[in-house]
Amino acid sequence: MKRDVIIACDFPTAEDTIRFLDNFKDEKPFVKIGMELFYGAGPDIVREIKARGHKIFLDLKLHDIPNTVKKAMSVLSGLDVDICNLHAAGGIDMMKAAVEGLTRADGTRPMLIAVTQLTSIDQTRLENELLINKPIDQVVMQYALNARQAGLDGVVCSPLEAGKVHETCGKDFLTVTPGIRFADGAVGDQQRVTTPAKAKEIGSDFIVVGRPITAAEDPVAAYRRCMSDFAE
């Protein structure tokens, strides 16, 4: 798997997103579409960005009973995206059903990755609200193993966890990692961040970068800096 930079297009409307992508004349970055844009603009924004030649990570984090997730995934598969995701907390049967739903008649399917624990969940919340009395990194690794057992391709995790996920689940199990900042950039609301170069060193397969590119004065230059630090 070739390392790549995925731009988190966290814009409220299709127009804002297309205006942003119009900055890129010489390259076609891999794009992440999240819930806000998808629920606001609908599946047409996925078709439009795909038609412009971008790869797409559709970040909708499905979590429901296996049959419902299977049917929803088969709809998403028809959108021809490159990566989809779900919550590993839905269980192994739900993840297996998702793989079945995503798989097209010709046997191809988008890559499927799992969210293990949201980065907004810390040890205290895990114990007091979710009543899981285990160290959070143990929970993350068990959920990653469950995802691998269900036939998924990898997980979304912190770049700082990518090495441990590879040790636990194998080097071919993908790690897709947000929480990326330039050493000289603003951290914002992210807690545990690392630079594109450090993410490469630890072993991330894909980094997801939002504001360091989308809010940069020169987004194309910021994207190229990420690519040269991480992917080349």
Interface positions with ligand C5P (CB under 6 A): 8, 10, 34, 118-119, 156, 178-179, 190, 208-212
Q: How far apart are CA 2 and CA 143, in angstroms?
A: 24
The CB-of-88 to ligand C5P minimum distance in angstroms stands at: 13
Closest to ligand C5P by CB, 50 or 181:
181
Chain position whose Cβ is nearest to ligand C5P: 210
SS3 content of the chain, % helix, strand, coil (to 5): 45, 15, 35
Closest to ligand C5P by CB, 77 or 117:
117
Q: Which residues touch 229 (CB under 8 Å, ≥6 apart)?
A: 195, 196, 197, 200
Closest to ligand C5P by CB, 70 or 164:
164
- Look up 61 and say whether it is catalytic: yes
Q: Which of 55, 61, 96, 198 is catalytic?
A: 61
Closest to ligand C5P by CB, 66 or 206:
206
Environment class of residue 132 by beta-carbon count within 10 Å: exposed (0-12), middle (13-18) or buried (19+)?
A: middle
Helix (H) or strand (E) holding 52: none
The CB-of-190 to ligand C5P minimum distance in angstroms stands at: 5
The CB-of-52 to ligand C5P minimum distance in angstroms stands at: 20
Largest CA distance in the chain: 51
Alpha helix ranges (H) inside the chain: 14-21, 35-41, 43-51, 66-78, 92-102, 123-128, 136-149, 162-169, 196-202, 211-214, 219-226
The CB-of-84 to ligand C5P minimum distance in angstroms stands at: 14
Active site residues: 61
